Amino acid sequence: MAEIIKNEPIANGIYRMSVFGAPLGRAGQFFMLRVPGALDPLLGRPISICEIDADKGETTFVYQPIGRGTAQFAALLPGQQIEAQGPYGNGFPLKGGRTVLIGGGIGTAPMLQLAKELRKSDPARKIDVFLGFREEAYLEKEFESYADNVTRNIGGYVTNDVDFALDATYYACGPSVMLRAAAKAADEANASLFVSLEKHMACGVGACLGCTCQTEHGRKRVCKDGPVFDYREVRDAI
Amino acid sequence: MPSNPLKLTLCGISLQNPVIAASGTFGFGHEYAEILDVSRLGGISGKGLTLNGSAGNKGMRVYETPSGMLNSIGLENPGVRHFVTHEADYMRALGPAVIANLGGHCEEDYLEGAHLLNDADIDILELNISCPNVKAGGMAFGMLPETAADITQKVKAVSRHPVMVKLSPNAPDLVAVARACESAGADALSLVNTFLGMAIDVKQKCAVFENVYAGLSGPAILPIALRMVHQVAHAVTIPVVGMGGITSAEDALKFLMAGAVAVQVGTMTFADPKAMLRIIDGLSDYCAQEGLDNLQQIVGIL
Ligand SMILES: Cc1cc2nc3c(=O)[nH]c(=O)nc-3n(C[C@H](O)[C@H](O)[C@H](O)COP(=O)(O)OP(=O)(O)OC[C@H]3O[C@@H](n4cnc5c(N)ncnc54)[C@H](O)[C@@H]3O)c2cc1C
Ligand SMILES: Cc1cc2nc3c(=O)[nH]c(=O)nc-3n(C[C@H](O)[C@H](O)[C@H](O)COP(=O)(O)O)c2cc1C
Ligand code: FES
């Protein structure tokens, strides 16, 4: 159980919620969030860690109320409780050297904590961030505290802005069209790319096999073995 | 020391309490063992096994519905041999009673599977003739009394383990199937498996699942499952293990009062991984409040 510290819109149809008391995870991991005791909606909703403030013991999520579960979250007030089960999933591998982060829409959320951890692991490294939005940008300022460059694209294809030929590690999270475009570009440039996948989930812990995908090494669970994969391994699942 | 009021015997196996993790919702125990004290459970029924394993169904596999969910996993599993060599001993070490859930596509699969399971240290074989999500076999065996009795009798002849037959709520005459399984030698019955349901994506104008139909579970099915457990428990003398939408100790008590000696919990574990521990604690409290020496005293009081 975690306590809601803040829960407010940061853009049209986008909310940011900070909670206290959830176990601290790392970039790329997620929580199954659920209104305590609710039987309808019943299942937790997978929501990525957007930022962790370890000193305060706070975890921040950025989410889009698109259905019944997430709409319920948007109605929660500071001081109320939320069930935050997790952190689940493998998280992003923190590679050395230059890094390029690509986020599309709500997929920008997990990239923020990644930028933070990459910066912390190496204050001198170069971090380029590319953010793509359909209509309105968010989190741009927050990224600026950790990245060397933040490029945003509204209404276009963010992957077109990215040079995949750098000697760098690429990380991407966003809609499938974006991930497919990134994979194609990474193929052409022979780049190293990690993608975070999304699947409908029931348990979030690897027990129900509701979220498995075909990989080069047999079937894997997006919730437990992922959600972050080397794109080459999950080419057919993107 | 006062004796444990929750303990019971099922198929000659002693269980510390009547709360069992339902097949397909608990893997083989690994994942939830990281999150909760699984040694406190009464039993664990492992993921449904098929002889040679399966990659399961394509497309969407889980979809939430009002107070429930539809699944079309399609028995993705590593196969009986893998279970025998890699999972059975792990499950045994966890502590709770070990139940292997065996599905199949044809009679030979079931019999060969049951034969291989003779090499595993399990307590009960749960014969799954009720999976709605596999194209061939699966639920087909559980739809009619004749086919259900036939496969039960043959598996009984092969298996050295007690056999608990898991029934499908989709059978046109569930009570007749239950009686037939009892006559064929089943040691116990478990019910219900999931109800065949459907979901449609109105925007895309298509069925949500590639198999079109999928299995419904969770609180939404509880009243129907309860009625079925009540009917079956009154029709047979072998023990009945009840399930379907249980979320709380109160729900578990309903199934016990309806005639089940134990319960299984599935979907609720997804929503709240610790639900079964809450249920066990709630049942203990109930015994204390009601002054029961053993919870089994309320079994079938209705
Ligand atoms: C690993 C992971 C991380 C995620 N991180 C975020 C995040 O940080 N912010 C955010 O806004 N969203 C995130 N999502 C998507 C988010 O989980 C869904 O938008 C949310 O579950 C929708 O629930 P709902 O009740 O509002 O919608 P409904 O459509 O009513 O949901 C019905 C069911 O479908 C599932 N579902 C619907 N859409 C999705 C989807 N896109 N992905 C997975 N399940 C879905 C729900 O979980 C629920 O079980 C993430 C998804 C995954 C898999
Ligand atoms: C994702 C999922 C997978 C399941 N897999 C199996 C299975 O492999 N074998 C089986 O006998 N039942 C399987 N079931 C059925 C459950 O064991 C149980 O009978 C059913 O879900 C009703 O209980 P519940 O409402 O508590 O979930 C599965 C159910 C779900 C939700
Ligand atoms: S959501 Fe259950 S295995 Fe991934």
Comparing CA positions, the residue from A100, A88, A105 lying closest to residue A201 is A88
Query: Does residue A228 lie within any of the structural domains?
Result: no
Place of tokens 């098929």: B50
Q: Are residues A105 and A189 in the same domain?
A: yes
Count of domains forming chain A: 2
Residues A189 and A164 sit within 8 Å (Cβ to Cβ)? yes
d(CA B119, CA B84): 7
Query: Does residue A59 lie within any of the structural domains?
Result: yes
Q: Are residues A126 and A181 in the same domain?
A: yes
Nearest to A42 among B24, B68, B71 (CB): B68
Q: Are residues A112 and A184 in the same domain?
A: yes
Residue of chain A minimizing CA distance to B68: A42
Residue B123 identity (one-letter amino acid): D
In this predicted complex, what is the ipTM? 0.94
Residues of B with a catalytic annotation lie at: 131
**Cα torsion for A16, A22, A25, A29, to the nearest 10°?**
-60
- The finding on whether B73 has its CB within 6 A of some atom of ligand 2 is yes
Query: Does residue A202 lie within any of the structural domains?
Result: no
pTM for the model: 0.96
Query: Does residue A236 lie within any of the structural domains?
Result: no
CA distances from B211 to A48, A69, A209, B14, B56 (A): 30, 26, 16, 40, 11
CATH code of residue A24: 2.40.30.10
Cβ pair A206:B31 closer than 8 A: yes
d(CA A131, CA A125): 19
Query: Does residue A16 lie within any of the structural domains?
Result: yes
Instruction: Determine which of B28, B50, B61, B69 to mutate to test the interface with A (most A C-beta atoms within 10 Å).
Output: B61
Q: Are residues A112 and A52 in the same domain?
A: no
CA gyration radius for chain A?
Answer: 17
Residues A37 and A81 sit within 8 Å (Cβ to Cβ)? no
pLDDT for the residue numbered B301: 98
Using pLDDT thresholds of 50, 70 and 90, give the confidence band for residue A30.
very high
d(CA A95, CA A97): 7
pLDDT, tens digit (0-9, with 9 covering 90-100), for B132-149: 777 666 678 999 999 999
Q: Are residues A62 and A151 in the same domain?
A: no
pLDDT, tens digit (0-9, with 9 covering 90-100), for B35-73: 999 999 999 999 999 999 999 999 999 999 999 999 999
B61 in A contact zone (CB under 8 Å): yes
A1 in B contact zone (CB under 8 Å): no
* Domain annotation for chain B: domains and CATH numbers: 8-58+72-198+213-298 (3.20.20.70)
Q: Are residues A171 and A106 in the same domain?
A: yes
B34 in A contact zone (CB under 8 Å): yes
Comparing CA positions, the residue from B162, B49, B166, B160 lying closest to residue B115 is B160
Q: Are residues A7 and A42 in the same domain?
A: yes
Residue where one domain finishes, among candidates A88, A117, A143? A88
Q: Which residues contact A163 (CB under 8 A, 6 or more apart)?
A: none
Place of tokens 């690994």: B30
Query: Does residue A51 lie within any of the structural domains?
Result: yes
Cβ pair B62:A202 closer than 8 A: yes
Residues A17 and A7 sit within 8 Å (Cβ to Cβ)? yes
| Structural domain range at position A107 | 99-196
pLDDT, tens digit (0-9, with 9 covering 90-100), for A33-60: 999 999 999 999 999 999 999 999 999 9
pLDDT, tens digit (0-9, with 9 covering 90-100), for B206-263: 999 999 999 999 999 999 999 999 999 999 999 999 999 999 999 999 999 999 999 9
Q: Are residues A191 and A127 in the same domain?
A: yes
What are the contacts of A209-216 at 24+ separation with CB within 8 A? A209/B24, A209/B27, A209/B47, A209/B56, A209/B61, A209/B73, A209/B76, A210/B61, A210/B62, A210/B71, A210/B73, A211/B61, A211/B62, A212/B56, A212/B61, A212/B76, A213/A237, A214/B55
d(CA A89, CA A206): 9
Query: Does residue A171 lie within any of the structural domains?
Result: yes
CATH code of residue A142: 3.40.50.80
Query: Does residue A14 lie within any of the structural domains?
Result: yes
Q: Are residues A69 and A153 in the same domain?
A: no
